[in-house]
Amino acid sequence: MQTLDRPDLIGDDEVDSLFHALADTTRRDILRRSAAGDLSVSRLADLYPMSFAAVQKHVAVLERAGLVIKERRGREALVCTDQAAVRRARLALDHLEATWRARVDAMTGLLDEDSEQRKGAAR
């Protein structure tokens, strides 16, 4: 469909924090659950046999590694892997915009032909 440039490719520095972030079962589990983007830190804390503060620390490690972001929604902070989703949304909407701009151009061309024909017929 469309070729992607890879703004997600990362340098050596970031690989360390990435591997550190992923080298923990709880954090990998949090990352998996965050893909849905609808869990708050307190909801996540309910899922593990550890304190809210401990879960919050895990989320912070994932955040520093750029794997999740916290998104404010009302009074809650939702944890989501949103950077990838936002990038996909951007690509998809850019693609749709280009498609519709081309369509409007083509429609304009066809309507111009119409009015030329009408003028021709009136002459």
Partner 1 sequence: MSVISVDKDFDDLTLTLVADFPAPATKVWELWADPRRIEQWWGPPGYPATFEEFDLSPGGSVTYYMTSPEGEKFRGWWRVLAVDAAKTLEFNDGFSDAAGVPVDDMPVTANEVRLLDTDQGTRMELRARFDTREEMERLDRMGMTEGLTLAVGQMDALLA
Closest among 25, 98, 40 to 73, alpha carbons compared: 40
Contact between 97 and partner 1 (CB under 8 A)? yes
Min separation Cβ 105 and partner 1, Å: 7
Contact between 37 and partner 1 (CB under 8 A)? yes
- 65 CB-contact burial (10 Å; exposed 0-12 / middle 13-18 / buried 19+): buried
Closest among 57, 18, 14, 25 to 33, alpha carbons compared: 25
Cα separation, 1 vs 4, whole angstroms: 10
Angle between helix 12-22 and helix 52-64 axes, rounded to 10 deg: 150
Stretch that binds partner 1, among 42-50, 53-61, 77-85 (CB under 8 A): 77-85
Contact between 106 and partner 1 (CB under 8 A)? yes
Stretch that binds partner 1, among 40-48, 50-58, 89-97 (CB under 8 A): 89-97
Q: Provide the binding-site residues for partner 1, judged by CB under 8 A.
A: 4, 8, 22, 25, 28, 31-32, 35, 37, 67, 81, 83-94, 96-97, 99-108, 110-111, 114-115
